[in-house]
Amino acid sequence: MGRTVKRPEDWVRYTPEAFGNRDDDDPLTCEIHWLSGSEYRRYRRMIVLKQVHGETKTNIEQINKKILTENVRDIRGYEMAGIAIRSGADLFDHGEPDLVDEILDAVTNVSRLEDGLGKQLTELSAGGAVGTLPSIGIAGTAKSAV
């Protein structure tokens, strides 16, 4: 598979709900790119499970970081322990787990229309997305990864 180019119109401004953020006068926002079904399947195929000394090891956290790094940008209004968080990689490395999970879910769980356009962001914010893809999730297990 060749390189996938994300068009400017494929990015949307997202306001997370975690910690009452949407009610804040100056809420944290970020731009996200919703994954298509084929992009989601490509990430899932990258997941590796292996047995090491009787223990199951996986690379799910590295895949989640890759998803956030490639599909979250322009984070505004978020600082953690004095560190300005501006990118998906910053979010993964320094963000609060509930916020990381919510944004990861927003990127991976948005239903797609047949013509490839995402549902309206207001539907996502209201929890109205239907037909969502199963999430890889930060706390993914070997069972959910296969």
Mean pLDDT of the chain: 78
Q: How far apart are CA 136 and CA 62, in angstroms?
A: 11
**Mutual orientation of helices 37-45 and 60-71 as an angle, nearest 10°?**
150
Report which of residues 6 and 70 the model is more confident about: 70
Closest CA to 17 of 28, 1, 33, 4: 28
- For the chain, list the strands marked E by DSSP: 11-14, 29-33, 49-52, 55-58, 72-76, 79-80, 83-84
Report which of residues 138 and 65 the model is more confident about: 65
Single pTM value for the model: 0.71
Mean pLDDT in residue range 87-98 = 97
Q: 8 near 27, Cβ under 8 Å? A: no
pLDDT in tens, 19-52: 999 999 999 999 999 888 889 899 999 999 898 8
Kindly list the domain boundaries of the chain, sorted by start residue.
8-123
Lowest mean pLDDT among 3-7, 101-105, 135-139: 135-139
Is the predicted pLDDT of residue 101 greater than 50, yes or no?
A: yes
pLDDT at 5: 66
Is the predicted pLDDT of residue 8 greater than 80, yes or no?
A: no
Is the predicted pLDDT of residue 85 greater than 60, yes or no?
A: yes
Is the predicted pLDDT of residue 143 greater than 50, yes or no?
A: no
Closest CA to 58 of 122, 141, 117: 141
Which single residue is written with the structure tokens 């926002």? Answer: 29
Percent of the chain with pLDDT over 90: 55
pLDDT at 7: 75
